[in-house]
Amino acid sequence: MEEQRLRICLLSSNTGIEDILRQIGISFFVADHAKGVSPFDASVLIVGREESSADLQLAKSFPEAGGAILDLGAASEMLTGIQAQKRMRNVLAPKAGVLDLPVSAFDVDAEVAHLGSGSDDWLKIDRMGIAPYCFLGLDIKVMESDRRTAFRRVGHFSGVKPAEEVSRCGHGAVPFLLAAILRRLCNERGLPFAHRWYHPGPHRTVTLFRLDTDFSDRDHIESYRTLIKKHGLKCTWFLHAGAHEKWLGLFRSFDEDEIALHCYRHFNSHDVNLMRSDIDKAVSIMKAAYLVPVGYAAPYGLYDSQIDAHLKANGISYRSDFGRAHDGLPVCENGLLQLPVHPISIGTLKSVKADESEMDLYFETSVQKLSRSFRPVALYDHPNHDLFVQSERMLGVLSALDGMRLTFREWAKFWNSRLSIPADPVLSVDGKIRDENTSDEFPLAVYLRNSHDVILQNRNDILTRLAVDLSVAEKSDDLIALRRFDLQAAKRGFLAKHFWRRTSPDREERMK
Ligand SMILES: [Zn+2]
């Protein structure tokens, strides 16, 4: 008997997959084709969409020796005898019961490979002799680099259906799909699946709250701050600095809260120079008021990587833009950490004429769905609307959660450390799992066969069980029906008021 490494092997380097494995928190390495890879060296071998035919030899020998394969397309014909067909798909839903998934449908808007003519043939989990095999038709490398946005219905779908301009191919959800597949493949091999837990141990989730201070006056700000204190929450204020220029010093007294940067003037433009000079102006007046921002949230949540270098030069170390990712795990891009937030706020619900009880139901249900499936719960609001009673109730929902309360800066700090210590678990011959970097703050999450539980294991082997509650997962039928509705509505011009903003060459006109 040999020790079993529970890490992942890549047939060749693949930036999209590598980013996602870092988010999941599991060690990986690229195969050395001269030496070969033993199934004791890695639990799963990932084969990309395009691989050289010489490299594919390993995709044959690894499963023959008992290793599991996740195939994004290059090996499917060789291993299954079926040629994959590509089709354009908008939304994908795995067949019910195939995977333990908190997210039951994915926006893709891309060419997806299918191993058959059925609508769910983009995902197939099977066995080839002794080896577990999964075909996944997503071109993850392309999807992960897709920065297009679109208006999407997000969150809890019964009742009101708010939309926001978010990432077009559901960046928040893909890591959970990949983690569920890796878990299934490991378990099919009779092995546990283990990764660095997503949150500081032993918490099942994290709770964050953010305020964008768009056009708010001093009264708005002070009243909202009282609400936050009443609920004992931590808050990160993203300042519309130009609106508070005469009294910026007020924010210095906001101990325990974090002060971050939204803008000087509230606009978003494709003109990079305009954006750069706005950032300079905001940072300079904030610094003059002894406020030093390390975080940035772009107006309207619109992500543009062209300003990343400029943000870094201004001391910014993280961004939070729902146009890049939402309701998911942080990801590092151009050296800046992207911290996803839930994109629907009270203002969005107001714009679709939601009444008080619909707003309550929306936040209660959306927050539950996120937290029960272990996704981060990060909400945002604006202090300048006239629905404080509603804000108070939303904060009540947030403060009732058992997530660890963090500011965005604290979340970034935790996540940067976590990214540097992915789990490298080893299953020893006596059946114990060992991982060097597991600690109380950075536990190891272990998933056993035939169990919906996640077991958190800290350095001293103290175990905490967290039960996945799949009953709160979104119904894929709902999402598919909504996407059809979106398409028809767009054709009728129903969403035209949104579309003009996207096609406008300059986003300067995007004012609330
Ligand atoms: Zn704003």
Provide the pLDDT confidence category of residue 504 given band limits of 50, 70 and 90. Answer: very low
Whether 123 and 272 share a structural domain: no
- The pLDDT mean for the chain works out to 89
Q: Do residues 79 and 99 share a domain? A: yes
Lowest mean pLDDT among 22-31, 310-319, 375-384, 454-463: 454-463
Residue 422 has pLDDT above 70, yes or no: yes
Residue 116: count other Cβ atoms within 10 Å of its Cβ.
14
Q: Which has more pLDDT, 34 or 478?
A: 34
DSSP-derived secondary structure for 371-431: HHTT--EEEEE-TTSS-HHHHHHHHHHHHTS-SEE--HHHHHHHHHHHHHS-B--EE-TTS
Please give the pLDDT value at position 484. Answer: 67
CA 268 to centroid of ligand 1, rounded, Å: 10
For residues 125 and 164, state if they share a domain.
no
Q: Are residues 70 and 163 in the same domain?
A: no
Cα 444 to Cα 44: distance, rounded to the nearest angstrom: 18
Identify whether residues 329 and 446 lie together within a single domain.
yes
Q: Which domain holds residue 160?
A: 147-512
Same domain, residue pair 168 and 238: yes
Give 199 Cα–ligand 1 centroid separation in angstroms.
28
133-157 mean pLDDT? 85
CA atoms of 338 and 408, how far apart (whole Å): 10
Tell me, in angstroms, the distance from the centre of ligand 1 to residue 322's CA.
Answer: 12
* Cβ atoms of residues 176 and 103 within 8 Å: yes
For residues 186 and 165, what is the distance between their CA atoms, to the nearest angstrom? 37
The pLDDT tens digits of the residues spanning 293-319 come to 999 999 999 999 999 999 999 999 999
Last residue of a domain, one of 146, 173, 188: 146
Same domain, 403 and 433: yes
Query: Are residue 341 and residue 372 in the same domain, yes or no?
Result: yes
Tally the domains of the chain. Answer: 2
The Å distance, Cα 71 to ligand 1 centre, comes to 42
Taken in order 217, 222, 223, 227, the sign of the CA dihedral is positive
Q: Tell me the CATH number at 8.
A: 3.40.50.880
Is the model's pLDDT at 3 over the cut of 70? yes
**Tens of pLDDT, residues 96-140:** 778 878 777 788 888 999 999 998 999 999 988 889 999 999 988
**pLDDT, average across residues 445-464:** 83
Statement to judge: residues 437 and 452 lie in one domain: yes
Q: What is the CATH number of the domain that holds 284?
A: 3.20.20.370
pLDDT band, residue 166 (cuts 50/70/90):
confident
9 close to 42: Cβ distance less than 8 angstroms: yes
Please state, in angstroms and rounded to a whole number, the distance separating the CA atoms of residues 248 and 228. 19
What is the spatial distance between Cα 379 and Cα 401, in angstroms, rounded to a whole number? 13
Q: For 54-88, how does the pLDDT look when each residue is reduced to its tens digit (9 = 90+)?
A: 899 999 999 999 999 999 999 999 999 999 999 99
- Locate the DSSP E strands across 414-487: 426-427, 433-434, 444-447, 453-457, 463-467
151 in the same domain as 140: no
Q: What is the pLDDT of residues 376-395, one digit of tens each?
A: 999 999 999 889 999 999 99
Tell me if 259 sits within 8 A of 226, measured CB to CB.
no
Average pLDDT over residues 270-299: 97
* Average pLDDT estimate for 420-424: 97
Short-list 137, 169, 157, CA closest to 71 = 137
Cα(330) to centroid of ligand 1, in Å?
21
Q: Are residues 142 and 155 in the same domain?
A: no
* Span from the CA of 183 to the centroid of ligand 1 (angstroms): 39
The pLDDT, as a whole number, for residue 502 is 41
Select from 100, 120, 146 the last residue of a domain: 146
Band of residue 255 on the pLDDT scale cut at 50, 70, 90: confident
Cβ contact 10:438 at 8 Å = no
Contact status, residue 122 vs residue 177, Cβ threshold 8 Å: no
In degrees and rounded to multiples of 5, residue 370 shows phi and psi of -65, -50
Last residue within a domain, chosen from 123, 146, 169? 146
Q: What is the pTM of this model?
A: 0.92
Q: Dihedral sign, CA of 330, 232, 201, 369?
A: negative
Whether 319 and 329 map to the same domain: the answer is: yes
Span from the CA of 381 to the centroid of ligand 1 (angstroms) = 9
